């Protein structure tokens, strides 16, 4: 017998037929003797409908009341799932976030979990019940309802798994797991069976949209073992777990890409201390998320500085900051390029295997793909390339590192 | 400055345009310096939709989870109304029943309020905020969500008015107040300006469907002054208040009728002690609500017993209890009549004015309406008549007692 937290997103409970499907799956686990805690999101479409109503009364900017309103979506889901389980003869009890003991700070619409008091859940588990908790929500110490923001239901599940010392936290979604690359681009992409938290974090931050980084970070911090899997099939998903020595045997875990990149270049900057600091000071003050930075070899005391930012933020720079940057940094002009993308290799095996970067650059060069910027960490290498080449790059790297083959060991 | 509790039902908040209308009304009161607590029901249609979803997952009989599910309807309403008020520049804060301190027993779907802790509401009122409370709901001492059953939002409003020592509790609905008779039957029916709690209770129990008896009883018990009025107009409604000496000057306050009556008659019952007790014991054990009872003058030691019950319950008697009654009571047969109705006159003035009954019977006789059964209390007289004559009877009595005329005094 183990203790399992399962999280079902909005598409898994899009209608009452899906609720019944989820209920049958939960009951199966319960029948096998597991202790099951289920975290549920709002039914697909419900949250959007509520936001529309809020807009109609002109109140979508009232964060406290938005939380009060949106929290009802998950509350409906937990009640319906509890009913469905009862109908199947499986004992189940529903709880709001507040009832489940999830205490947050008071930052409405993006609250952070401060503390969880799991006694009530423990008691119901001891009674043999499935416990169904509303995802995405909690309440402050003063009993004001809050929501956790994007990816909040995943976070609820991971936090509950941590505090309940669950053996596994299953995240049910509409994909079968984490893949070596986006299967829409690489048909031979393979579902990864095991991946470390760090690798998953890199993949998520580099564009692989399976789980939000915040939840994976939380899982890493508290040693929660995750499984990402599909609510539409019975196949095993991808286990995201603490790093083991054997994992390092696999050099590259996957290829990620992100089209939401844009590049700006400052030409002819005086090559003297403080110029870069001035530029990035202006960007930081405007909350622009700078990703990669390079500074070219200088000639005659002048340099070029390039950096990448999300595409939406490039617009802010062009409209609001460009003149000030040119004046304060002291450069000729700013060049913009929105037609760039980032392709990345991720794997903790890189730490102990040399030559990965060279192999990556060679593979891209072999297809005539020009590398504009490079950035590396201990477990990833990213290249900025032309956006038109991104699919070719992903396919090329997937093939070059033989990611379609199941690793012989370490996974 | 006074303290006012306002309650808006589902039709008053059927869509976001209606929410805006309610918000403007609430703001008006707030602008005039009143302290305003608003109790809101679920948007029209929302509760039915949720019940449909519950049916689809086979869970509509799970009372705990039904409460969890249905309570979201009111929670959405309070958030939307708070947003609408914010949009108009009026400070407002929403609370669930539990947050408002409404503690109930644990009887799901028809919980009773046990205690209200009004500190939180008081604090927000002191801050100058409108406080918006979800009607129809509360929570147990263990923080499990409950609902109060039919008419629950009225009850929330009355209970809050009592505990907050409000000067007035306004019940906004889709009628303009309480009328001397059903205006659909009596075109000259007049809106009553003031009525006592007791008279309102009699009218409600006799068929006038403006407010549930439970809420009026509560208002009477705690001395809450009610006003029933329309959310679609600005006209004053009907004040329901504690009895004053002057009110007795008005003999008849209104005429009520109820078509949902059925009569059964046991023929040839032995006229000896215990026979009636046997009959009504069987009916009570089956939770049949018996209204009027008459026993005819006996001949040769035999008697006829008649009583009236709600039409739906007559069916239960016919199908499940008839044979047992005939055997245990010892009578010939049971005669059933569903084509009866009850017409009633209500007024606390009857206590000090004699001759009302005679005048009523004469008026009905004058139109050839036969009276089958009669029942009286200190402040009402009811007659069972053929259902086909009910509209004529109501019009006749309304005219006979000159109810279309505004009373000269006492109101």
Residue of B47, B65, B109 for testing the chain A interface, max A β-carbons within 10 Å: B65
Structure confidence at residue A407 as a pLDDT band (50, 70, 90): confident
Q: CA-CA distance, A263 to A394, in Å (whole number)?
A: 20
Topology at the third CATH level for domain A3-174:
Carbamate kinase (3.40.1160)
Report how far residue B39's alpha carbon sits from residue B226's, in angstroms, rounded to the nearest whole number.
Answer: 14
**Which position has the token pair 């009218």?**
B203
C-alpha distances out from residue B44 to A54, A239, A299, B270, Å: 16, 46, 73, 54
| Residue A411 binned pLDDT confidence (cut-offs 50, 70, 90) | very low
What is the rounded CA–CA span in Å between residue A295 and residue A307?
A: 9
- pLDDT tens for A92-125 read 999 999 999 999 999 999 999 999 999 999 999 9
Kindly report, residue by residue over B51-64, the tens digit of the pLDDT.
999 999 997 789 99
Token reading at B401: 């007692």
A370-384, B30-44, B46-60, range with greatest mean pLDDT? B30-44
Distances (CA, A) of A267 to A280, A332, A335, A375, B12: 15, 6, 8, 21, 64
Can you give the length of chain A in residues?
411
Q: How far apart are CA A98 and CA A113, in angstroms?
A: 11
Q: How confident is the model at residue B209 (pLDDT cuts 50, 70, 90)?
A: confident
Residue of chain B minimizing CA distance to A91: B62
Average of pLDDT values for B22-39?
A: 97
pLDDT for A16 equals 95
What is the pLDDT at residue A209?
A: 79
Q: According to DSSP H, which parts of A114-238 are helical? A: 119-126, 152-163, 197-205, 213-221
The whole-model pTM stands at 0.87
Among all residues of chain B, which has the CA nearest to that of A83?
B59
* Closest CB to B59 among A53, A86, A143: A86
Q: pLDDT at position B297, please?
A: 66
Could you tell me the pLDDT band of residue A211, with boundaries at 50, 70 and 90?
Answer: confident
For A255, half-sphere exposure in the C-beta direction (CA atoms, 13 angstrom radius) is 29
Q: From residue B102, how far is each of A387, B119, B135 by CA, in Å?
A: 59, 11, 10
User: Between chains, do B57 and A143 touch, taking CB under 8 Å as contact?
Assistant: no
B15 DSSP assignment: S
pLDDT band, residue B410 (cuts 50/70/90):
very low
pLDDT in tens, B185-194: 999 999 999 9
Q: Is A28 helix (H, G, I), strand (E, B) or coil?
A: helix
User: What residues of B are in contact with residue A26 (Cβ under 8 Å)?
Assistant: none
Number of helices (H), then strands (E), belonging to chain A: the values are: 12, 18
Residues of A whose CB is below 8 A from B19: 57
User: For residues B133 and B140, what is the distance between their CA atoms, to the nearest angstrom?
Assistant: 17
| Cβ–Cβ < 8 Å for A235, A229 | yes
Where do the domains of chain A lie? 3-174, 255-400
Distance CA B17, CA A57 (A): 8
Shortest distance between the Cα of A86 and any Cα of chain B, in A, equals 7
A304: left (phi over 0), alpha (psi -120 to 50) or beta: beta
B166 band by pLDDT with thresholds 50, 70 and 90: very high
The least confident of A382-396, B219-233, B286-300, B345-359 is B286-300
User: Which of B58, B65, B83 is the closest to A57 by Cβ?
Assistant: B83
Beta bridge partners of A172: A8, A229
pLDDT for residue A409 is more than 60: no
The pairing of beta strand A130-134 with beta strand A92-95: parallel
CB contact under 8 Å between A53 and B16, yes or no, is yes
* Contact (CB<8Å) B59/A87: yes
Q: Find all residues with CB under 8 Å of B156, minimum gap 6, and list them.
A: B7, B39, B97, B102, B113, B133, B134, B135, B136, B137, B138, B148
Q: Are B190 and B406 in contact (CB under 8 A)?
A: yes
Task: Please state the three-class secondary structure of A283-329 as a single string.
Answer: HHHCCCCCCCEEECCCECCEEEEEEEEEHHHHHHHHHHHHHHHHHHH
Rounded Cα distance, B59 and A79, in Å = 9
Nearest C-alpha in B relative to A53: B16
Distance (Å, whole) CA B227 – CA B239: 4
CA distances to A89, A206, A236, B154 from A2, rounded to whole Å, are 21, 33, 17, 48
Contacts with A99 from chain B: Cβ below 8 Å: 143-144
A331-342 pLDDT, tens digit each: 888 999 999 999
Q: Order of strands across the sheet with A254-270?
A: A293-295, A302-310, A254-270, A334-346, A380-386, A373-377
DSSP string covering B260-272: EEEEEEEEEEE-S
Distance CA A68, CA A45 (A): 17
- DSSP symbol at B135: T
Q: What is the pLDDT of residues A159-183, one digit of tens each?
A: 999 999 999 999 999 889 999 999 9
What residues are paired with A263 via a beta bridge? A308, A337
DSSP B210: S
Name the band, by pLDDT with cuts 50, 70 and 90, for residue B411: very low
The model's confidence at residue A238, banded by pLDDT at 50, 70 and 90, is very high
Whether the per-residue pLDDT at A283 is higher than 70: the answer is yes
pLDDT tens digit string along B74-97? Answer: 999 999 999 999 999 999 999 999
CB contact at 8 A, B390 and B207: no
B123-146 mean pLDDT: 97
Q: State how far the Cα of A140 lies from the Cα of A136, in Å rounded to an integer.
A: 14
What does the alpha-carbon distance between residue A174 and residue B48 come to, in Å, rounded to a whole number? 30
Q: Which residues of A fall within a CB distance of 8 Å from B57? A: 16, 19-20, 23, 80-81, 83-84, 87
Q: Is residue A57 over pLDDT 60?
A: yes
Q: Which residue from A58, A75, A96 is facing B87, i.e. has the nearest CB?
A: A58
Asked if the Cβ–Cβ distance from A65 to B83 is below 8 Å, we say yes
Which top CATH class is A255-400?
A: alpha beta
Q: Considering CB atoms only, which of A20, A58, A86 is closest to B83? A: A58
Residue A251 has pLDDT above 70, yes or no: yes
Task: Tell me if residue B20 falls in helix, strand or coil.
Answer: helix
């Amino acid at each position: 017998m183990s203790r399992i937290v399962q999280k079902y997103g909005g598409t898994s409970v899009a209608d009452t037929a899906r609720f019944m499907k989820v209920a049958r799956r939960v009951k199966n686990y319960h029948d096998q003797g597991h202790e099951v805690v289920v975290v549920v999101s709002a039914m697909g479409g419900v949250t959007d409908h509520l936001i529309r109503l809020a807009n109609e009364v002109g109140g979508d900017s009232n964060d406290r009341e938005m939380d009060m309103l949106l929290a009802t979506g998950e509350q409906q889901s937990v009640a319906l799932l509890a009913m469905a389980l009862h109908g199947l003869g499986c004992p189940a009890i529903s709880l709001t976030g507040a009832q489940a003991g999830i205490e947050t700070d008071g930052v409405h619409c993006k609250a952070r979990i401060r503390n969880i008091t799991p006694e009530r859940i423990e008691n119901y588990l001891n009674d043999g019940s499935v416990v169904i908790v509303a995802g995405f929500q909690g309440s402050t110490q003063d009993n004001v309802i809050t929501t956790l923001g994007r990816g909040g239901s995943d976070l609820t599940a991971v936090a509950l798994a941590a505090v309940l010392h669950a053996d596994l936290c299953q995240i049910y979604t509409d994909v079968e797991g984490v893949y070596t690359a986006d299967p829409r681009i690489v048909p031979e992409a393979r579902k990864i069976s095991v991946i470390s938290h760090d690798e998953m974090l890199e993949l998520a931050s580099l564009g692989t949209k399976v789980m939000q980084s915040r939840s994976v970070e939380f899982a890493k911090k508290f040693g929660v073992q995750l499984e990402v899997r599909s609510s539409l099939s019975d196949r095993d998903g991808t286990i995201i777990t603490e790093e083991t020595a054997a994992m390092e045997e696999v050099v590259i875990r996957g290829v990620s890409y992100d089209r939401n990149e844009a590049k700006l270049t400052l030409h002819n900057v005086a090559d003297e201390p403080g110029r870069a600091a001035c530029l990035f000071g202006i960007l930081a003050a405007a909350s622009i998320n700078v990703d990669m930075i390079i500074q070219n070899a200088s000639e005659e005391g002048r340099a070029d500085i390039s950096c990448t930012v999300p595409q939406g933020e490039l617009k802010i720079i062009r409209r609001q900051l460009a003149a000030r940057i040119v004046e304060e940094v002291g450069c000729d002009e700013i060049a913009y390029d929105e037609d760039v993308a980032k392709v990345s290799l991720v794997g903790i095996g890189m730490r102990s295997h040399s030559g990965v970067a060279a192999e990556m650059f060679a593979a891209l060069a072999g297809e005539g793909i020009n590398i504009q910027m490079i950035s590396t960490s201990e477990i990833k290498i990213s290249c900025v390339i032309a956006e038109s080449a991104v699919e070719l790059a992903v396919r090329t790297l997937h093939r070059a590192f033989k990611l379609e083959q199941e690793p012989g060991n370490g996974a």
